[in-house]
Structure 1
Amino acid sequence: NLGLIDVSVQLIQLLQKLKTDLESLLTAFRCSLQFLGNIATGNRESQNNIWKLAFPSLFLNCINHQDEKINGYCCMVLFTCLNTEKTKELCEESNLNIALAVLRAYRRCPESEWVFLIVTNHLLKCPELVKAMYAKLSNQERTTLLELLLSEILGGNLAVNDEMATFLASGFQEKCQAVLKLTSTANHEDEEALVVVRLLDVLCEMTSNTAQLECLQSCPGLLEEAVAILRLTHVSGKQTTNVFTAIHSGTGQEEISHPVIGFKSHLIRLIGNLCYKNKTNQDKVYELDGIPLILDNCSIDDNNPFISQWAVYAIHNLTEQNERNQELIAQMEQQGLADNSVLESMGLKVEQQDTKLILKSVRKMPNV
């Protein structure tokens, strides 16, 4: 009511125009922003007044300012003013640059608490905004966004809705073959391929959560694409020696550093999740000839930690209450196409009852 918000905003706008690096003026700039942040805390009327006067240009200019402290204080003000309705305003084409600037500020200064809070408490919780941002981001920026998304899902801080889950699945399906670029040592940091790796990580976590599992199990083409890219990477690793080639040093002490480490393991995990108590998907993997493919990935592989365990998990989900899939594995074992020792390691054995081969469990399914 004293008009201090108006005066502070006018002062900030004046200091912006001066474009000076004089410390005394920068201090005034910072203090003005800090004052706005303080006066907005817990006061909806002040928040609305600041939003009316500062949105969008003042926020955008301050977030992009070369002074790190000005960035931080501006993000404090922005975080304090944001709510669900205001976050949706960022989806508009004319305002989207603010959301993009916040993410880029996080990339420049990941230790900035206010920037992090804006991203995690507001931006990631608006599916429409995530989709709009994703379309405008570079591959490096997409990787950052997905890593933040993954961290929030793992921490139980983000409930992904069906819209977001479907969008991310579509992104994976569209670009997943880019990961094949990583077979070349010259492309080991290909940015598009790194996005695919992170998308797969996110999908694995989402399908491990019952809230998103049903949606992704029925997502058109996702399972087919997962099986297809597993086959392509597996064949690639057999044709030439590359990061998709299964290796086993025997020591377990050699640390391998490559962005695609664990990719095939995660693909099998995703396939297993998508087939969990879902006969339609179990049958689909059968039709795609995916069961022999998974069985061929049961050996220890230093490039894919825990791949044998995830293969056990996937085979369990593929054969649970599915006689046709059980019979296929039993026939493969009889014909020598499936290694009996591999089946035993999975806790499975083949028995003949009359003229029929039966796949039976000989021990309790491990908790993977």
Structure 2
Amino acid sequence: MKNSPSLEQSIPERITQRLFIASNSCTLEASLETLIEASKSIEGRSNLASQDILPCVLELIQCVINISGDVLLLSSLKLLRNLCAGEIRNQNVFIEQNGVGVVSRVLQDAMLMNDPDHVIIRLGLQVLANVSLAGEEHQQAIWHRLFPDKFLLLSRITYHEISDPLSMIIYNICSRHSELVASLCGDSGLPIIEEIVRTVSSVGFVEDWVKLLLSRICLEEPYFPRLFSKLRPIDTYKDSNKAEYRDVSFSSEQAYLLTIISEILNEQIGDIVVPKDFAACVYRIFQSSISIIDSTPICKSGLPTGTIAGDVLGYSLTILRDICAQDSKKGDKDVSEDAVDVLLSLGLIDLLLGILHDIEPPAVLKKALQQGENEDRTSLPNSLKACPYKGFRRDIVAVIANCLYRRKHVQDDIRKKNGVFVLLQQCVADENNPFLREWGIWAVRNLLEGNLENQKLVSELEVQGSADVPEIAELGLRVEVDPKTRRAKLVNAPRPFQDS
């Protein structure tokens, strides 16, 4: 930071005198400090607006830019930021006096400086962020001045102090205008969002503006496939416009994006109607990520797993869970049901039932099988796979359970695919799958509700070659071990009559 003793003498007297009078101070530095303190309150900002101080501050900024007065520049930007915090008169004057152009010049010069803390850029963005809250005219002025080139340069600065206000500005400008979102997600704008995601994936964020921005782009508008594809590992895909995910290689940024989208969707279940293309894209991601299971180390913790492959697999699955939960809550035949219909048409149920067949059974059922092994010296098939992370089985059962809710065609489909037995064996406690029992019971409840065929099938189950396990017996069930496949399934256990 630098400020020569004669710096104030270089500032036109018309500027310094007005600031001296407004602050009742005799030096420029003291005047700015006094006015910054006064502008922290609503009354102070209103009083300074009445004195028309903002044009004077803009002039001062242009002067100190030209004479490299860093200390005065920082103080001037702090004052300008405060003046524009919710005071519409100051916000209007800022636009009328070409404040966007002045701050844009500050940002441009600051990006050429070697400032490790990027304080000037942060303050300049905070000024624009406050102005962007004033209305459409203010937002359009910022957009036309900074989009796309300056936004792109700013997005490449990997500090959350920069990405937070930048996300706020872009969200405020685009939140109510689909055409601006389309421009933002076009060829010239999408690199901006791509860089913001890369930044927050490495340094995080403090405020939720980036989540609001990604929610607008990915869940309210149909641009998730394009953004996800842009974040792919370099040279993985030849055509970046095709959202095909047959390649099993994913980037850390893609995993992070899925993490954030999963969090957003879970927080807003029932409020967001997801696009059909979004649901189909997430399904394809999950479908591709399954092949990673064999090559990825088993994670003994839940999500996040600490691995790219595990997080892509897990968070794409939780997104599918919440899509199905959200749509099933709607109840009416509207657009929201299309997302689940698309997932079902793509083979979601077949895929999930197949996974449940291929992974090791819950610990309680393994205990039953081991009990049977002691009797006939047989063992579990070697082909069964371990769950890639803690809670994987539970998440699969949760997706199926939500798909079943008041959808008779799904109930019938699972029966015809011999999936009733598979779901029954999920109604057990499992230390590697917290809340598996609750999700399993919810799935069976939805499977049987209003479906006489399914109810009859369950009631007629016969016990043959069963193994007794106390945890299962408490549910009125027993484990039946198929002598040919050595797979376990749950069946009803007859209970003795007792005096009431």
Name the TM tier (shorter chain).
0.7 to 0.9
Normalised by the length of structure 2, the TM-score is 0.58
Partner of 1:99: 193
Residue by residue, what CA displacement relative to the aligned partner does 1:325-351 show, whole Å, maximum 9, x if unpaired? 3343344324456979888655689xx
Query: Please, which moves more after superposition, 304-313 or 234-243?
Result: 234-243
Partner of 1:172: 286
Partner of 2:390: 261
Q: Residue 229 and residue 111 in structure 1: after superposition, are their counterparts in 2 closer, same or farther (change >3 A)?
A: same
Partner of 1:202: 319
| Cα distance in structure 1, aligned partners of 2:181 and 2:319 | 23
Partner of 2:213: 119
Partner of 1:9: 104
Partner of 1:64: 156
Q: Residue 321 and residue 338 in structure 1: after superposition, are their counterparts in 2 closer, same or farther (change >3 A)?
A: farther
Segments of 5+ residues of structure 1 without an aligned counterpart are: 246-258, 350-358, 363-368
Q: Any residues of structure 2 matched to 1:74-89 within 5 Å, and which?
A: 74-83=166-175, 84-85=177-178, 86-89=180-183
Higher relative CO (CA 8 A, sep ≥ 6), structure 1 or 2?
1
Query: Please, which moves more after superposition, 129-138 or 46-55?
Result: 129-138
Partner of 1:354: none
Q: Residue 328 and residue 32 in structure 1: after superposition, are their counterparts in 2 closer, same or farther (change >3 A)?
A: closer
Partner of 1:254: none
Q: Does 1:286 align with 2:400?
A: no
Residue by residue, what CA displacement relative to the aligned partner does 1:121-141 show, whole Å, maximum 9, x if unpaired? 533443322221112224422
| Cα distance in structure 2, aligned partners of 1:100 and 1:31 | 23
Structure label with greater radius of gyration: 2
How far residue 98 of structure 1 moved from its aligned partner, in angstroms, is 0.9
| Cα distance in structure 2, aligned partners of 1:22 and 1:234 | 52
Structure 2 counterpart SS, 1:122: helix
Q: Which of 264, 269, 283 is matched with 1:152 structurally?
A: 264
Residue by residue, what CA displacement relative to the aligned partner does 1:304-326 show, whole Å, maximum 9, x if unpaired? 12223322222232233434433
Partner of 1:355: none
Q: Residue 242 and residue 60 in structure 1: after superposition, are their counterparts in 2 closer, same or farther (change >3 A)?
A: farther
Partner of 1:141: 253
Query: Please, which moves more after superposition, 234-243 or 59-68?
Result: 234-243
Structure 2 counterpart SS, 1:113: coil
Looking at secondary structure, tell me which structure has more helix per residue. Answer: 1
Q: Is the Cα contact below 8 Å between 2:171 and 2:213 reproduced in 1? A: no
Q: Which amino acid aligns with 1:40?
A: S
Query: Please, which moves more after superposition, 90-99 or 64-73?
Result: 64-73
Q: Is the Cα contact below 8 Å between 2:164 and 2:205 reproduced in 1? A: no
Residue by residue, what CA displacement relative to the aligned partner does 1:99-142 show, whole Å, maximum 9, x if unpaired? 11222222233233164354355334433222211122244223
How far residue 273 of structure 1 moved from its aligned partner, in angstroms, is 2.1
Partner of 1:322: 451
Partner of 1:43: 135
| Cα distance in structure 1, aligned partners of 2:440 and 2:202 | 40
Residue by residue, what CA displacement relative to the aligned partner does 1:50-94 show, whole Å, maximum 9, x if unpaired? 211110110111121255544444334333333333222122122
Q: Which amino acid aligns with 1:116?
A: V
Q: Which of 54, 58, 61 is matched with 2:146 structurally?
A: 54
Partner of 2:32: none
Segments of 5+ residues of structure 2 without an aligned counterpart are: 1-95, 233-250, 331-335, 367-379, 479-491, 496-500
Query: Please, which moves more after superposition, 229-238 or 56-65?
Result: 229-238
Partner of 1:108: 202
Residue by residue, what CA displacement relative to the aligned partner does 1:214-269 show, whole Å, maximum 9, x if unpaired? 64156211111111111122379954699837xxxxxxxxxxxxx71111122122
How far residue 143 of structure 1 moved from its aligned partner, in angstroms, is 2.7
| Cα distance in structure 1, aligned partners of 2:116 and 2:252 | 34
Partner of 1:311: 440
| Cα distance in structure 2, aligned partners of 1:49 and 1:342 | 66
Aligned positions, number: 337
How far residue 45 of structure 1 moved from its aligned partner, in angstroms, is 1.7
Normalised by the length of structure 1, the TM-score is 0.76
Q: Residue 105 and residue 242 in structure 1: after superposition, are their counterparts in 2 closer, same or farther (change >3 A)?
A: farther
State, as a whole percentage, how many aligned pairs show the same letter: 22
Q: Does 1:130 align with 2:224?
A: yes
